[in-house]
Amino acid sequence: MRIIIAEDSVLLRSGMVKLLEDEGIEILAAVGDAEQLLAAVEAHDDVDLCLVDIRMPPGYSEEGMDAAIKIRRTRPDVAVLLLSQHVVSRYAAELLGGGSAKVGYLLKDRVADIDEFLGTLRRVAGGGAAIDPEVVSQLLSRNSDSALDRLSPRESEVLGVMAEGLNNAGIAARLVITERAVEKHIRSIFTKLDLGQDDHDHRRVRAVLEYLRGTGGQD
């Protein structure tokens, strides 16, 4: 896997470079602002994923978010994983709202759990979507008038965990149910959300996108 890191904190940036290189991941560039990020993406046709801090110089507002959206629009082959210090659920909805896979949003605290962090990187780079559990928790607490209202409480739980990027085995372990039950719930979710006969992985991503749009993604 080939990655570009965009993080303004020199200490955190250096730490992530060492962590990922120790895991055999190639770091194509490690930069400190959004302008350098966009230039690095343009310079590297072979980049697989960009790891992007949402708030970077010069304004420390949403420069990283804006750059991530530009990357997804101009280079849909490049995955983007956003990092944020705090839960801002609309970031996840905004980034995912274009209907694309290969996107994720994590709190920076997740980097400390190396196995989870690396697993998320690989899922997103492989075409999936991964949303931080804290963001999912906030979204689940909101009411909405959407196709999601058709889902049963258990189906909503399954979809919420799916949004975190877990596979069927992971969902089963989290909810303490069998994998067969998970498969049944997912089939029902696909039907109730009117997801067609695309391949299974694509329908999972589309279900997560519907979930994020339906829960509003507003703070």
Tokens 């507003």 -> residue: 218
pLDDT tens figures, 115-159? 888 988 998 998 877 877 776 666 555 545 466 778 898 998 898
Last residue of a domain, one of 107, 132, 157: 132
- pTM as predicted: 0.70
Say yes or no: 17 and 98 in one domain: yes
Say yes or no: 119 and 167 in one domain: no
Domain of residue 182: give its range: 143-215
- Count how many domains the chain has: 2
Say yes or no: 117 and 60 in one domain: yes
Residue 9 to residue 191: CA distance in whole angstroms: 45
- 219: confidence class by pLDDT, cuts 50, 70, 90: very low
Say yes or no: 122 and 149 in one domain: no
Instruction: Establish if 172 belongs to a structural domain.
Output: yes
Maximal C-alpha separation, the chain: 50
Which CATH number does the domain housing residue 206 bear?
1.10.10.10
pLDDT tens figures, 47-72? 999 999 988 888 887 888 889 989 98
Q: What percent of the chain has pLDDT over 70?
A: 77
Amino acid at 197: Q
The region of weakest confidence among 4-18, 131-145, 182-196 is 131-145
DSSP string, 4-57: EEE-S-HHHHHHHHHHHHHTT-EEEEEESSHHHHHHHHHH-TT--EEEEESS-T
Name the β-bridge partners of 79: 49
pLDDT tens figures, 75-113? 989 999 999 887 665 665 566 555 557 888 888 887 888
Last residue of a domain, one of 132, 158, 175: 132
Helix (H) or strand (E) holding 3, with range, is strand 2-6
